[in-house]
Chain A
Amino acid sequence: EIVLTQSPATLSLSPGERATLSCRASQTVDIYLAWYQQKPGQAPRLLIYDASNRATGIPARFSGSGSGTDFTLTISSLEPEDSAVYYCQQRYKWPPITFGQGTRLEIK
């Protein structure tokens, strides 16, 4: 099973600042990594697929990078509505499809 480790666990930043979230895989996942945003009481929302492709309707301030085992989600200029938990997920080697444990982003 591929284990995804996200860091940091919690991030607290101000509006307008840049957020950098990390996801590290226990073995290569090539580019088959996605990022999701989840707000309280809601389903996860796909932000980025295949490491760097923005999903439909996702603002340009969200970007993804990386390949192999190290990936980054960057939010270039934080908005108050970006407060959420962010998960990475791999679909390279399954079963099982696996998720990271999440990074909680707080906007001050």
Chain B
Amino acid sequence: QVQLVQSGAEVKKPGASVKVSCKTSGYTFTNDYIHWVRQAPGQGLEWMGWINPNSGGTNYAQKFQGRVTLTRDTSISTASMELSSLRSDDTAVYFCASGGNTLSHDMRLDYWGQGTLVTVSS
């Protein structure tokens, strides 16, 4: 079955960077986009961007342009999200999600990781 397993919780100081990983299994990693979505405490879901694991191409929400970098390592079927210049309002649970075929530019989010809590505090 499809599984996305994310790295563990992080505590960072303002101004630092954080990198969250998402290891996938149960499907062909290069077939489907990987998206990143975050959820601040008690708030809704916010889409950050996607990476095409086949080409390495990315697309970011304007809000995060210049601060977020999505990468992938096809040899270990793992995607990563790095967010820099952290602020207190970046405190959130960060999710990876997959499901949309890259050949058809399908932006479905069928399968989700368990989430990674990133806390930004001085």
Contacts and interface: CB of A to CB of B under 8 A. Distances in A.
Interface of A: 34, 36, 42-46, 49, 55, 87, 89, 91, 94-102
A43 B47 contact: no
B107 A44 contact: no
Contact of B61 (A49, A87, A95, A102): A95
Contacts of A44: 45, 95, 109, 112
Interface residues of B, number: 24
Given A34-B109, A55-B110, A97 B35 contact: yes
21 contacts: A43-B112, A43-B114, A43-B115, A44-B45, A44-B95, A44-B112, A45-B112, A46-B112, A49-B110, A87-B45, A89-B109, A91-B100, A91-B109, A95-B47, A95-B59, A96-B61, A97-B35, A97-B47, A97-B107, A99-B44, A99-B45
Contacts of A46: 99, 109-112
B45 to A, nearest CB: 4
Contacts of B62: 95-96
A94 B44 contact: no
A92 to B, nearest CB: 9
